[in-house]
């Protein structure tokens, strides 16, 4: 079983093979020591708990797409101290000041990557900046194993489960 990558999330056979190779070598591309070798765009800022870089594959419809990633290899947000939360807020504030977007959206991929829509088991936050008249709607996929259309995801509750 894969520990670092969700191979099912690969978007091409080439990407899947690449991810399987990383898994075999035990290399997490989000751990800061591997960014230079395994990612195209460099780390732009390193703080106490997080680093910030542009996403190598910005989502269509965004004018800027950053990843805010913990320096430590953690899987869930609550593995970090509250001070990391304060720093994350400050990073978001700085990105907003720098980019002056009309709007921004963040999605944090925490926990089981097969459900949070991520392909790497290292906590990370997407920060996307939005401008008027985007080329297309920006879509974040979560619940990766759900129905193809998220509007069709409402499943019947298990008996006794509050909705
Ligand atoms: Zn990592």
Are 127 and 66 contacting, i.e. CB atoms less than 8 angstroms apart? yes
22-26, 122-126, 159-163: which range is least confident on average?
Answer: 159-163
Q: If you search the block for the tokens 């807020």, which residue do you land on?
A: 89
* C-alpha 29: how far from chain center: 12
Q: What is the C-alpha to C-alpha distance for residues 2 and 5, in angstroms, rounded to an integer? A: 6
pLDDT band at 163 (very low <50, low <70, confident <90, very high): very low
Whole-angstrom distance, CA of residue 38 vs CA of residue 50 = 18
Distance 14 CA to ligand 1 centre (A): 21
Whether 151 has a pLDDT exceeding 60, the answer reads no
Residue 37 Cα, ligand 1 centroid: separation in angstroms?
A: 14
Asked if residues 89 and 83 have their Cβ atoms less than 8 Å apart, the reply is no
Cα of 35 to ligand 1 centre, how many Å?
10
Task: Classify strands 124-130 and 50-54 as parallel, antiparallel or unpaired.
Answer: unpaired
pLDDT greater than 60 at residue 150: no
CB 49 within 8 A of CB 87: yes
Q: How many angstroms from the chain centroid is the CA of residue 25?
A: 22
Quick one: pLDDT at residue 108?
A: 96
CA angle 95, 61, 35 (to 5 degrees): 55
For the entire predicted model, the pTM comes to 0.85
Angle at 59 between CA 12 and CA 132, to 5 degrees: 155
pLDDT tens string 6-43: 998 888 899 899 999 999 999 999 999 999 999 999 99
What is the Å distance from ligand 1's center to 69 Cα? 9
Q: What pLDDT, in 10s, does the model give residues 42-81?
A: 999 999 999 999 999 898 899 999 999 999 999 999 999 9
| 116: helix, strand or coil | helix
Distance from the alpha carbon of residue 31 to the mean position of ligand 1, in angstroms:
4
pLDDT attached to residue 158: 46
CA of 145 to the centre of ligand 1 (A): 23
Ligand 1 centroid – CA 89 distance (Å): 21
pLDDT at 131: 85
pLDDT reported for residue 67: 98
């Amino acid at each position: 079983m894969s520990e670092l990558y969700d191979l099912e999330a690969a978007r091409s056979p080439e990407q899947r093979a690449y991810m399987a190779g990383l898994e075999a070598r035990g290399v997490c591309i989000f751990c800061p020591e591997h960014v230079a070798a395994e990612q195209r765009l460099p780390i732009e800022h390193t703080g106490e708990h997080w680093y910030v870089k542009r996403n190598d594959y910005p989502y269509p419809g965004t004018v800027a797409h950053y990843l805010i990633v913990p320096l430590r290899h953690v899987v869930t947000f609550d593995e970090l101290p509250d001070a990391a939360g304060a720093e994350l807020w400050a990073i978001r504030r700085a990105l907003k000041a720098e980019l002056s977007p009309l709007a921004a959206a963040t999605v944090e991929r925490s926990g089981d990557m097969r459900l949070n829509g991520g392909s790497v088991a290292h906590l990370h936050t997407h920060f996307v900046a939005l401008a008027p008249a985007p080329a297309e709607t920006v879509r974040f996929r979560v619940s990766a194993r759900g129905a193809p259309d998220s509007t069709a995801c409402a499943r019947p509750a298990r008996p006794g489960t509050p909705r």
